[in-house]
Structure 1
């Protein structure tokens, strides 16, 4: 992933991921996928400038369009029928961690970094579709803790909570991720795809049948007066750091 320096997630990031997966399906449909970032950041999550302007626009249609693009991108990774591995090379925060949780396996580099779902403390309601993915990847208890508390964890605590399947030295990150990706040979692709679909069946039914109605309330929640104040504080913190 190389849309921008820290892979903040905006319309261009979503478009780039879809272009990449279009090419994977067209030219490398039998092969597994490894997602990674650059330097010390896997993905820093949503682009605050891009997203907060949408949330504060007062337009429910704009918020719905923003969420639709975000949701479609994550579900495309989550449902990809081949093995998917997140080679987490550094910080994975909020939407960045969700992108990692979309993958079947998550390998992290042993280096100082932060990981967590801090949407709620900065005034962003967690979309119900993502909650289902989070619970699938982390379990109900850890999923609720990570979502509602919104804490950013260091590597050791994130590993203890089960964010990663394995933590390795940075120079072994891609090697290990590729090893996980090669857990099957191409002649077993159908067995993998069918098994993955069966494992995700309950999650996808929940997303299709229940989260659609829950997420209808997202535009109002994103633009709530209190949430907007929290979002503005976060934006000011970022601008001050720069």
Structure 2
């Protein structure tokens, strides 16, 4: 079964759903997400993208068991591909909203922060970059993503440096997410935010992508330190 699926709605949204338990990130996830993003870009009826998960987790981060079971070359290729995917989301030519149905930890939090907006379940879930708790060092591409997407020092201090489990309400206060919403209203709010971003007259997708690339400078992934 696919670990990620996409649904195209009649009102012009592509809704991407991670559907693999804890929704951990591995090469299968990267491959399927890449194909889905390709499909979305070809679909001219789509005006915005919403990414979410099923169950308790938005994403619980890297699939460490999968990484341990593969060779160094395979794991390094996966890391390269994951960083490329994250920056593709940052620069995607449509408005993107991460709908945090549940916990977003480490790599899952990076997927969330790569989106333009984040809407978080007010009743369940934390967001945290908890690499420090398992003695994993962030590489340059990951650090650049955090620095460019999270502007407040107290947010970086709490959510990354000391790996606090940030609730939805606190995440809004820190500027990490844009809204804390009751579970039954998450999709409605995600759509509202995306439509508000587009405005009444819409935005040219190629110009939107150009503006994103100008604002959020991607590091040279070929030179990224492979440590995570």
Which structure: larger Rg?
1
- Looking at structure 2, the residues matched to 108 and 74 of structure 1 have their Cα atoms a distance apart, in angstroms, of 19
- From the two aligned structures, give the one with the greater helix fraction: 1
Q: 1:7 to 1:28 in 2, by over 3 A?
A: farther
Could you tell me which residue of structure 1 aligns to residue 26 of structure 2? 10
Count of residues in correspondence between the two structures: 210
Does residue 20 in structure 1 map to residue 21 in structure 2? Answer: no
TM-score, normalised to structure 2, is 0.81
RMSD: 2.4
- Looking at structure 1, the residues matched to 127 and 68 of structure 2 have their Cα atoms a distance apart, in angstroms, of 21
Q: Show structure 1 runs of 4+ deviating over 4 A.
A: none
Could you tell me which residue of structure 2 aligns to residue 125 of structure 1? 137
Q: 1:52 to 1:202 in 2, by over 3 A?
A: farther
CA contact (8 A) 2:18 2:54 kept: yes
- Looking at structure 2, the residues matched to 159 and 140 of structure 1 have their Cα atoms a distance apart, in angstroms, of 12
CA contact (8 A) 2:114 2:145 kept: yes
Task: Select which of 186, 207, 216 maps to 1:194.
Answer: 207
What pairs with 1:1-242 in structure 2 (closer than 5 Å)? 1-28=17-44, 30-54=46-70, 59=72, 61-139=73-151, 141-142=153-154, 144-145=156-157, 146-183=159-196, 184=198, 188-190=202-204, 193-194=206-207, 197-201=210-214, 203-204=216-217, 207-208=219-220, 212-213=222-223, 215=224, 217-218=225-226, 221=227
TM-score, normalised to structure 1, is 0.77
Task: Choose between structure 1 and 2 for higher RCO, CA contacts under 8 A separated by at least 6 residues.
Answer: 1
1:193 to partner: Cα distance:
4.8
Structure 1 unaligned segments of length 5 or more: list them.
Answer: 223-242
Structure 2 unaligned segments of length 5 or more: list them.
Answer: 1-16
